[in-house]
Amino acid sequence: MERFAVIGLGRFGKKLAIALAMSGAEVIAIDRDRAVVDSIRDQVSLAVRMDSTDEEALKAQGVDRVNCAFVCMGQGGSIFESSVLTVVNLKTLGVKRICARAPSLTSGQVLAAVGATDVVYPEIETAQRWAYKLIAPHIGEKIDFAPGYSLARVKAPPSFDGKTVMELQLRQKFNVNLVAVKRGKEEESSKTDQKDIINVPLPNTEIHTGDILMVAGSDRDLARLPQE
Protein backbone atom coordinates (compact mmCIF):
# COMPACT_ATOMS: atom_id res chain seq x y z
CA MET A 1 0.00 0.00 0.00
CA GLU A 2 1.23 3.47 -0.92
CA ARG A 3 1.86 5.79 2.06
CA PHE A 4 1.50 9.58 1.89
CA ALA A 5 1.88 12.49 4.28
CA VAL A 6 -0.21 15.59 3.63
CA ILE A 7 1.08 18.56 5.62
CA GLY A 8 -1.22 21.58 5.87
CA LEU A 9 -4.96 20.89 5.84
CA GLY A 10 -6.38 23.97 4.23
CA ARG A 11 -8.97 23.61 1.46
CA PHE A 12 -6.46 22.09 -0.99
CA GLY A 13 -4.64 19.87 1.50
CA LYS A 14 -7.81 18.49 3.06
CA LYS A 15 -9.30 17.58 -0.33
CA LEU A 16 -6.03 15.97 -1.38
CA ALA A 17 -5.76 13.88 1.80
CA ILE A 18 -9.35 12.65 1.49
CA ALA A 19 -8.98 11.89 -2.23
CA LEU A 20 -5.82 9.85 -1.59
CA ALA A 21 -7.48 7.95 1.26
CA MET A 22 -10.54 7.21 -0.89
CA SER A 23 -8.20 5.76 -3.52
CA GLY A 24 -7.00 3.20 -0.99
CA ALA A 25 -3.75 4.83 0.16
CA GLU A 26 -2.48 5.15 3.73
CA VAL A 27 -2.52 8.86 4.59
CA ILE A 28 -0.92 10.78 7.47
CA ALA A 29 -2.66 14.17 7.69
CA ILE A 30 -0.80 16.92 9.59
CA ASP A 31 -1.77 20.44 10.67
CA ARG A 32 -1.17 22.81 13.58
CA ASP A 33 -4.91 23.45 14.05
CA ARG A 34 -6.54 20.91 16.35
CA ALA A 35 -10.05 21.59 15.00
CA VAL A 36 -8.92 20.95 11.43
CA VAL A 37 -7.14 17.75 12.45
CA ASP A 38 -10.23 16.52 14.33
CA SER A 39 -12.45 17.23 11.31
CA ILE A 40 -10.50 14.80 9.10
CA ARG A 41 -9.55 12.17 11.68
CA ASP A 42 -12.16 9.61 10.57
CA GLN A 43 -11.34 9.94 6.87
CA VAL A 44 -7.58 9.19 6.86
CA SER A 45 -5.25 6.60 8.42
CA LEU A 46 -3.72 9.03 10.92
CA ALA A 47 -4.43 12.70 11.69
CA VAL A 48 -1.86 14.53 13.82
CA ARG A 49 -1.66 18.02 15.31
CA MET A 50 1.99 19.03 15.17
CA ASP A 51 4.57 21.53 13.93
CA SER A 52 6.06 20.20 10.69
CA THR A 53 9.17 22.35 11.13
CA ASP A 54 10.13 19.94 13.94
CA GLU A 55 12.15 17.21 12.24
CA GLU A 56 12.01 14.83 15.20
CA ALA A 57 8.23 15.17 15.45
CA LEU A 58 7.89 14.23 11.77
CA LYS A 59 10.08 11.18 12.27
CA ALA A 60 8.14 10.14 15.37
CA GLN A 61 4.96 9.92 13.28
CA GLY A 62 6.63 7.82 10.59
CA VAL A 63 6.77 10.54 7.95
CA ASP A 64 10.30 9.40 7.07
CA ARG A 65 8.77 6.14 5.77
CA VAL A 66 6.18 7.57 3.38
CA ASN A 67 6.44 7.18 -0.39
CA CYS A 68 5.57 10.84 -0.89
CA ALA A 69 5.02 13.92 1.28
CA PHE A 70 2.86 16.80 0.07
CA VAL A 71 3.41 20.20 1.71
CA CYS A 72 0.14 22.12 1.30
CA MET A 73 0.57 25.11 3.58
CA GLY A 74 -1.09 28.40 2.70
CA GLN A 75 0.37 31.73 1.73
CA GLY A 76 2.02 34.49 3.75
CA GLY A 77 5.55 35.28 4.89
CA SER A 78 5.81 33.16 8.04
CA ILE A 79 3.72 30.36 6.53
CA PHE A 80 5.91 30.21 3.44
CA GLU A 81 8.98 30.09 5.68
CA SER A 82 7.43 27.09 7.46
CA SER A 83 6.84 25.43 4.08
CA VAL A 84 10.50 25.87 3.17
CA LEU A 85 11.68 24.48 6.52
CA THR A 86 9.29 21.55 6.21
CA VAL A 87 10.63 20.68 2.75
CA VAL A 88 14.18 20.83 4.12
CA ASN A 89 13.20 18.51 6.99
CA LEU A 90 11.57 16.03 4.62
CA LYS A 91 14.64 15.98 2.43
CA THR A 92 16.85 15.41 5.50
CA LEU A 93 14.60 12.52 6.55
CA GLY A 94 15.16 10.89 3.16
CA VAL A 95 11.65 11.22 1.71
CA LYS A 96 12.20 10.52 -1.98
CA ARG A 97 9.25 12.45 -3.41
CA ILE A 98 8.37 15.83 -1.93
CA CYS A 99 5.55 17.84 -3.50
CA ALA A 100 5.00 21.43 -2.39
CA ARG A 101 2.20 23.91 -2.92
CA ALA A 102 3.47 27.29 -4.14
CA PRO A 103 1.59 30.60 -4.27
CA SER A 104 3.78 31.97 -7.10
CA LEU A 105 6.42 30.98 -9.64
CA THR A 106 9.14 32.60 -7.51
CA SER A 107 8.01 30.68 -4.43
CA GLY A 108 8.02 27.51 -6.49
CA GLN A 109 11.62 28.10 -7.54
CA VAL A 110 12.63 28.49 -3.90
CA LEU A 111 10.85 25.30 -2.86
CA ALA A 112 12.46 23.38 -5.71
CA ALA A 113 15.87 24.74 -4.76
CA VAL A 114 15.59 23.43 -1.18
CA GLY A 115 14.43 19.96 -2.17
CA ALA A 116 10.87 19.81 -3.55
CA THR A 117 10.74 17.30 -6.41
CA ASP A 118 7.35 18.59 -7.62
CA VAL A 119 5.87 22.07 -7.27
CA VAL A 120 2.11 22.57 -7.47
CA TYR A 121 0.22 25.73 -8.32
CA PRO A 122 -3.37 25.21 -7.07
CA GLU A 123 -4.74 27.94 -9.30
CA ILE A 124 -3.89 25.71 -12.26
CA GLU A 125 -4.12 22.15 -10.97
CA THR A 126 -6.78 20.57 -8.78
CA ALA A 127 -6.27 18.48 -5.68
CA GLN A 128 -8.24 15.63 -7.27
CA ARG A 129 -5.97 15.52 -10.32
CA TRP A 130 -2.84 15.41 -8.16
CA ALA A 131 -4.29 12.73 -5.91
CA TYR A 132 -4.80 10.45 -8.90
CA LYS A 133 -1.42 11.34 -10.36
CA LEU A 134 0.22 10.26 -7.10
CA ILE A 135 -1.78 7.11 -6.50
CA ALA A 136 -1.65 5.91 -10.12
CA PRO A 137 1.44 7.28 -11.89
CA HIS A 138 1.13 4.59 -14.58
CA ILE A 139 -2.17 6.08 -15.79
CA GLY A 140 -1.66 8.57 -18.61
CA GLU A 141 -4.41 10.75 -20.04
CA LYS A 142 -7.74 10.29 -18.29
CA ILE A 143 -11.22 11.38 -19.42
CA ASP A 144 -13.89 11.52 -16.73
CA PHE A 145 -17.28 10.43 -18.09
CA ALA A 146 -19.13 10.09 -14.76
CA PRO A 147 -18.25 10.85 -11.12
CA GLY A 148 -15.54 8.35 -10.17
CA TYR A 149 -15.43 6.68 -13.62
CA SER A 150 -12.97 7.33 -16.43
CA LEU A 151 -11.56 6.29 -19.77
CA ALA A 152 -7.79 6.12 -19.33
CA ARG A 153 -4.65 5.63 -21.41
CA VAL A 154 -2.31 3.00 -19.92
CA LYS A 155 1.04 1.73 -21.20
CA ALA A 156 1.13 -2.07 -21.12
CA PRO A 157 3.64 -3.19 -18.45
CA PRO A 158 6.22 -5.97 -19.01
CA SER A 159 3.99 -8.46 -17.14
CA PHE A 160 1.44 -8.17 -19.98
CA ASP A 161 3.95 -9.04 -22.71
CA GLY A 162 2.89 -11.92 -24.98
CA LYS A 163 -0.41 -12.53 -23.21
CA THR A 164 -3.78 -12.50 -24.90
CA VAL A 165 -6.75 -10.44 -23.76
CA MET A 166 -8.34 -13.66 -22.50
CA GLU A 167 -5.25 -14.55 -20.47
CA LEU A 168 -4.99 -11.09 -18.90
CA GLN A 169 -8.61 -11.24 -17.66
CA LEU A 170 -8.73 -7.48 -17.04
CA ARG A 171 -12.45 -7.49 -16.38
CA GLN A 172 -12.38 -10.46 -14.02
CA LYS A 173 -9.23 -9.45 -12.08
CA PHE A 174 -9.44 -5.65 -12.07
CA ASN A 175 -13.04 -4.88 -13.06
CA VAL A 176 -11.93 -2.71 -16.01
CA ASN A 177 -12.82 -3.01 -19.69
CA LEU A 178 -10.30 -2.93 -22.55
CA VAL A 179 -11.68 -0.60 -25.23
CA ALA A 180 -8.83 -0.34 -27.75
CA VAL A 181 -5.14 -1.10 -28.29
CA LYS A 182 -2.52 1.05 -30.02
CA ARG A 183 0.62 -0.88 -30.88
CA GLY A 184 3.90 0.36 -29.40
CA LYS A 185 6.71 1.46 -31.74
CA GLU A 186 8.72 -1.75 -31.29
CA GLU A 187 5.71 -3.91 -32.11
CA GLU A 188 4.85 -1.79 -35.16
CA SER A 189 8.35 -2.14 -36.60
CA SER A 190 8.65 -5.88 -35.91
CA LYS A 191 5.31 -6.81 -37.46
CA THR A 192 4.51 -4.65 -40.44
CA ASP A 193 1.28 -6.52 -41.13
CA GLN A 194 0.00 -5.75 -37.63
CA LYS A 195 -2.67 -3.04 -37.36
CA ASP A 196 -1.46 0.07 -35.53
CA ILE A 197 -4.79 0.49 -33.76
CA ILE A 198 -7.16 -2.31 -32.74
CA ASN A 199 -10.57 -0.75 -32.10
CA VAL A 200 -12.20 -3.99 -31.00
CA PRO A 201 -9.69 -6.23 -29.14
CA LEU A 202 -10.67 -9.89 -29.39
CA PRO A 203 -10.03 -12.60 -26.77
CA ASN A 204 -7.05 -13.83 -28.81
CA THR A 205 -5.57 -10.36 -29.35
CA GLU A 206 -1.99 -10.47 -28.06
CA ILE A 207 -0.66 -7.60 -25.94
CA HIS A 208 3.00 -6.54 -25.91
CA THR A 209 5.13 -4.34 -23.65
CA GLY A 210 4.76 -0.72 -24.71
CA ASP A 211 1.33 -1.11 -26.28
CA ILE A 212 -1.07 1.68 -25.32
CA LEU A 213 -4.28 0.34 -23.81
CA MET A 214 -7.48 2.37 -23.60
CA VAL A 215 -9.34 1.06 -20.57
CA ALA A 216 -12.55 2.10 -18.85
CA GLY A 217 -13.65 1.64 -15.27
CA SER A 218 -13.84 3.26 -11.86
CA ASP A 219 -10.88 5.41 -10.81
CA ARG A 220 -10.25 3.04 -7.90
CA ASP A 221 -10.12 -0.03 -10.16
CA LEU A 222 -7.95 1.70 -12.77
CA ALA A 223 -5.43 2.57 -10.05
CA ARG A 224 -5.11 -1.16 -9.26
CA LEU A 225 -3.76 -2.05 -12.72
CA PRO A 226 -0.18 -3.43 -12.63
CA GLN A 227 2.72 -1.04 -13.19
CA GLU A 228 5.38 -3.69 -13.86
Long-range CB contacts for residues 110-114, cutoff 8 Å, separation at least 24: 110/84, 111/71, 111/83, 111/84, 111/87, 114/84, 114/87, 114/88
Q: What is the tens place of the pLDDT at every residue in 9-34?
A: 998 899 999 999 988 899 999 999 99
Q: Which of 35-44, 146-155, 204-213, 214-223 has the lowest mean pLDDT?
A: 146-155
pLDDT in tens, 147-201: 678 788 888 989 999 999 999 999 999 999 998 899 876 544 444 445 688 888 8
Contact 133, 68 (CB under 8 A): no
The pLDDT confidence band at residue 37, using thresholds 50, 70 and 90, is very high
* All domains of the chain in start order, with CATH: 3-135 (3.40.50.720), 139-223 (3.30.70.1450)
The secondary structure of residue 152, as a DSSP letter, is E
Structure letter (DSSP) for residue 43: G
CA 228 – CA 226 distance, rounded (Å): 6
The pLDDT assigned to 187 comes to 47
Nearest to 96 by CA among 55, 58, 68: 68
pLDDT in tens, 56-97: 999 999 999 999 999 998 766 688 899 999 999 999 999 999
Per-residue confidence (pLDDT) for residue 219, from 0 to 100: 81
* The predicted structure's pLDDT at residue 1: 77
* Segment (H or E) for 144: strand 139-146
| Angle, alpha carbons 18-21-27 (nearest 5°) | 100
**Angstrom distance (rounded) from CA 207 to CA 201:** 10
Decide: pTM greater than 0.85.
no
Of the candidates 210, 209, 213, the one whose C-alpha atom is nearest the C-alpha of residue 197 is 213
pLDDT at 54: 95
Q: Of 8-22, 104-118, 135-149, which gets the smallest average pLDDT?
A: 135-149
